[in-house]
């Protein structure tokens, strides 16, 4: 039997409400991606203004991962208690505050930038768990694989953010003006949409055949399958996060392209991820999670090799596209696997995201340290090694038996 995913529970809400929640979930993912890429698109300018070398830049970027890593273990119990809707709304406001603080701080020094990025990372971590939990809820109600399309929405937001960033760089718009405007736009849009989320689970008619969860949201830390999925997600997150943080820098410094072309190379990476995530559901439903993510990991390895060792910027650009395509489905598939059981979804998604985000914690300093010794471009070969590990762990994301039995929500 193929490891395809279908709904696990009879939906307690109407089709119209699920459609509204689907749109709202897309908005949350798009807003998150747009905010993140807007910041990432201005990293080279912040680096130059603060006069940071590769190691120092890596440590500054570490603040985002540190904030996320603090938030992620806490977010499972929080989402389980107050729901994904309230979590996303509160964290959207906090992210806007952090982004604005980092933008304004770039005018004065490293410390305010680090503080702002830490707040941004904290908000992003809890927001991430909240919107992924809602994504698994909608996916179950619809009865088909759609999580990767929500992540395609995130990638679409990152593409828009990167392209806007490239335009802001070309027009010499100051970093504070650009990023403060983005913060206001994202907060207003996401808070408005997140009110339309549906309930994270339906307790009205529990399934007597399924053992009730024990130990609360933190019990997932003792589940071997959940932990292995977390390591799987970590490998793909490292590939995605390093691409987000370092592709533009590596293209500018390693392939000697202009700042605007470096940002466009970053946009190409994000575009490839968006394409993979948008068209991924059909492949997942036809061939199953395990087979698809294994093939994509191999494609990602080839893309990293071409980007690093390609003899010209054209080869590097093509490698960027393959890299983005290969990294596209790992994180969303891991989130779907964590949400196979709706009553345990908050805790499992939180654990998987916590482990996965270790990649964002380790990625900046690892690449920065290796970059000082090997150049940033050559340091990126670490990504290929971790994608190789992901191919070995792909079997862990196969759906649970209880995730194959129910009919989808009527249209």
For 275-326, write each residue's pLDDT tens digit: 898 898 889 889 989 999 999 999 999 999 999 998 888 888 899 999 999 9
Percent of the chain with pLDDT over 70: 90
Is residue 209 one of the residues assigned to a domain? no
> Into how many domains does the chain fold?
1
Is residue 354 one of the residues assigned to a domain? yes
What is each CA distance from 150 to 9, 23, 61, 76, 310, in whole angstroms? 20, 10, 25, 20, 32
Is residue 248 one of the residues assigned to a domain? yes
Is residue 208 one of the residues assigned to a domain? no
For 381-407, write each residue's pLDDT tens digit: 899 999 999 999 999 998 877 554 444
Least Cα distance to 27 among 79, 72, 69, 89 occurs for 89
What is the rounded distance in angstroms from the CA atom of residue 315 to the CA atom of residue 312?
5
- pTM assigned to the model: 0.74
For 248-257, write each residue's pLDDT tens digit: 888 888 888 8
Is residue 288 one of the residues assigned to a domain? yes
Is residue 410 one of the residues assigned to a domain? no
24 pLDDT above the threshold of 60:
yes
CA dihedral angle for residue 168, residue 157, residue 102, residue 253, rounded to 10 degrees: -60
**DSSP state letter for 312:** S
Is residue 407 one of the residues assigned to a domain? no
Whether 75 and 129 have beta carbons less than 8 Å apart is answered as: yes
1 pLDDT above the threshold of 60:
no
What is the rounded distance in angstroms from the CA atom of residue 375 to the CA atom of residue 379?
6
Q: Of 72-76, 105-109, 145-149, 283-287, which gets the smallest average pLDDT? A: 72-76
Q: Of 6-10, 12-16, 59-63, 282-286, which gets the smallest average pLDDT? A: 6-10
Residue 12 has a pLDDT of 52
Is residue 96 one of the residues assigned to a domain? yes
Residue numbers of the domain that contains 260: 15-199+220-401
Q: What is the CATH number of the domain that holds 332?
A: 1.20.1250.20
């Amino acid at each position: 039997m193929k490891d395809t995913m279908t709904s696990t529970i009879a939906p307690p809400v109407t089709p119209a409400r699920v459609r509204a929640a689907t749109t709202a979930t897309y908005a949350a993912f798009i807003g998150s991606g747009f905010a993140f890429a807007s910041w990432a698109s201005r990293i080279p300018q912040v680096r130059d203004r603060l006069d940071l070398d590769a190691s120092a830049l890596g440590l500054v970027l570490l603040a985002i991962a540190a904030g996320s890593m603090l938030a992620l273990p806490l977010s499972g119990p929080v989402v389980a208690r107050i729901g994904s809707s309230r979590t996303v709304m509160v964290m959207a406001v906090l992210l806007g505050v952090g982004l604005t603080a980092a933008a304004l701080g770039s005018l004065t020094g490293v410390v305010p930038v680090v503080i702002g990025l830490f707040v941004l990372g904290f908000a992003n971590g809890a927001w991430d768990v909240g919107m992924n939990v809602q994504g698994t809820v909608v996916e179950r109600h619809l009865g088909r694989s759609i999580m990767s399309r929500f992540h395609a929405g995130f990638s679409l937001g990152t593409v828009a953010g990167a392209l806007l960033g490239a335009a802001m760089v070309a027009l010499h718009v100051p970093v504070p003006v650009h990023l403060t405007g983005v913060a206001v736009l994202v907060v207003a849009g996401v808070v408005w949409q997140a009110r339309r989320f549906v309930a994270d689970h339906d307790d009205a008619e529990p399934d007597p055949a399924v053992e009730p969860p024990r130990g609360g949201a933190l019990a997932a830390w003792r589940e071997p399958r959940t932990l292995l999925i977390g390591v799987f997600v970590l490998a793909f997150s490292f590939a995605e996060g390093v691409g987000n943080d370092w592709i533009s820098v590596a293209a500018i410094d390693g392939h000697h392209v202009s700042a605007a072309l470096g940002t466009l190379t970053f946009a190409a990476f994000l575009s490839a991820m968006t394409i993979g995530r948008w068209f991924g559901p059909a492949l997942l439903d036809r061939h199953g999670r395990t087979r698809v993510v294994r093939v994509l990991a191999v494609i990602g390895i080839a893309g990293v090799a071409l980007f690093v060792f390609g003899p010209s910027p054209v080869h590097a650009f093509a490698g960027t596209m393959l890299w983005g395509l290969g990294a596209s489905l790992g994180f969303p598939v891991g989130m779907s696997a964590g949400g196979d059981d709706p009553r345990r979804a908050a805790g499992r998604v939180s654990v998987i995201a916590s482990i996965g985000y270790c990649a964002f914690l380790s990625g900046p300093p690892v690449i920065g340290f290796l970059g000082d010794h090997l150049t940033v471009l050559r340091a990126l070969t670490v990504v290929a090694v971790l994608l190789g590990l992901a191919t070995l762990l792909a079997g862990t994301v196969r759906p649970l038996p209880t995730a194959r039995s129910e009919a989808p929500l009527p249209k």
